[in-house]
Amino acid sequence: MSTQGSTPTPRPDWLWHVGLVGFVAVWWLVYRQLIPASDWLTALVPVDRHSHAGEAIAFFFYDVPKVMLLLTLIVFGMGVVRSFFSPERTRALLAGKREGVGNVLAAGLGVLTPFCSCSAVPLFIGLVSAGVPLGVTFSFLIAAPMVNEVALALLFGLVGWQVAVTYFAFGLGVAIVAGWVIGRLRLEGWLQDWVRDIHAGATAPGAVEDAALSLVDRYRLGIAAVREIFGRVWMWIILGIGMGALIHGYVPEALMAAVMGAEAWWSVPAAVLMGIPMYTNAAGVIPIVEALLGKGAALGTVLAFMMAVIALSLPEMIILKQVLTQRLIAVFIGVVGTGILAVGYLFNFLF
């Protein structure tokens, strides 16, 4: 996916910089050629371009390469930016912050700090044990998976930058407010016992100093991020776009508008409830979202569905169960779910 290989022989720095500029230039040229290329590919398939199947195939051939291209660039960029952050630095920044300011900062850092849901538990404990308030920790934990570069890249590419910016702003908003509310509720007693003990005897463990990285090291981290994310999400993207293509080609518009249109008030809570048990991620759900929007589903309803799928996933609950009691998880789902509902209704009202 990148022009640079990773042979162990060291290359001069300038070669890396030139390589990067060259890569971005090639990327731009390829990106500009997508529509003709996808039309050409579709023309090779022996179906009528304006039939249901033709529509679905054209959608698929255009969207798959487009999304892959956007992901490569955005994930690489985010990988480089993230190399300036680490969980330890985030902890140092958040420790001793008051609620309010802390929630805003935590949500922002949630976007920028390298995060993998398999590290959610040690990260949670690391923050709580350094004296970061529970609500501030939650702001971080809500923002980190919800506002991620995969979601933003796909939204930008498939639905448009306006929706991507909206999602970004309201994703952060939900994380800040939900974290603040959870902090206000004073639920420290609802942590699992062993976590509470750590919390009570909070001592920040010794810092592991970060090695100074050169710009080339950061490029390497960016490339590693692209590899890793592609390894994880390419299947979801193809499945999601395939689903989206089917919706695009076959689902009648009147049906979708009736079920997910702004007129149907119950569609927002229904979308949130449906989203929670769904096991997919941004890569799988956004192509479906695009197709739904194209068929007349209301933006707020679709946004709520997407946020619920990404932020309130069952696997994450199972991971969090190691540190949170069931009651606290229920409050977490309740507060975040309410926030998402509010966003959904607000958008259906505004647009």
* Interacting residue ranges for other proteins, rule: CB under 8 A: 8, 86-88, 91, 114, 116, 118-119, 121-123, 125-127, 129, 194, 198, 205-206, 208, 224, 322-323
Supply the Cα-derived Rg of the chain in whole angstroms. 22
Nearest to 93 by CA among 81, 109, 79, 77: 109
Kind plus residue range of the DSSP H or E element containing 346: helix 326-350
CB nearer to other proteins: give 194 or 250. Answer: 194
Least distance (Å) between residue 116 CB and other proteins = 7
Least distance (Å) between residue 241 CB and other proteins = 24
Distance CA 59, CA 29 (A): 21
Long-range contacts of 201-209 (CB under 8 A, 24+ apart): 202/128, 202/129, 202/130, 202/131, 203/129, 204/91, 204/95, 204/129, 204/130, 204/131, 205/126, 205/129, 207/88, 207/92, 208/88
CB nearer to other proteins: give 2 or 86. Answer: 86
CB nearer to other proteins: give 91 or 295. Answer: 91
Least distance (Å) between residue 231 CB and other proteins = 10
CA distances from 179 to 64, 88, 95, 161, 174 (A): 36, 20, 16, 27, 8
Least distance (Å) between residue 119 CB and other proteins = 4
CB nearer to other proteins: give 52 or 321. Answer: 321
CB nearer to other proteins: give 57 or 323. Answer: 323
CA distances from 280 to 49, 275, 293, 308 (A): 31, 9, 19, 11
CB nearer to other proteins: give 122 or 334. Answer: 122
CB nearer to other proteins: give 27 or 85. Answer: 85
Least distance (Å) between residue 43 CB and other proteins = 41
| Beta carbons of 2 and 76 less than 8 angstroms apart | yes
CB nearer to other proteins: give 130 or 174. Answer: 130
| Beta carbons of 192 and 324 less than 8 angstroms apart | yes
212: left (phi over 0), alpha (psi -120 to 50) or beta: beta
Least distance (Å) between residue 82 CB and other proteins = 11
CA atoms within 13 A on the CB side of 325: 11
Least distance (Å) between residue 87 CB and other proteins = 4
Least distance (Å) between residue 311 CB and other proteins = 20
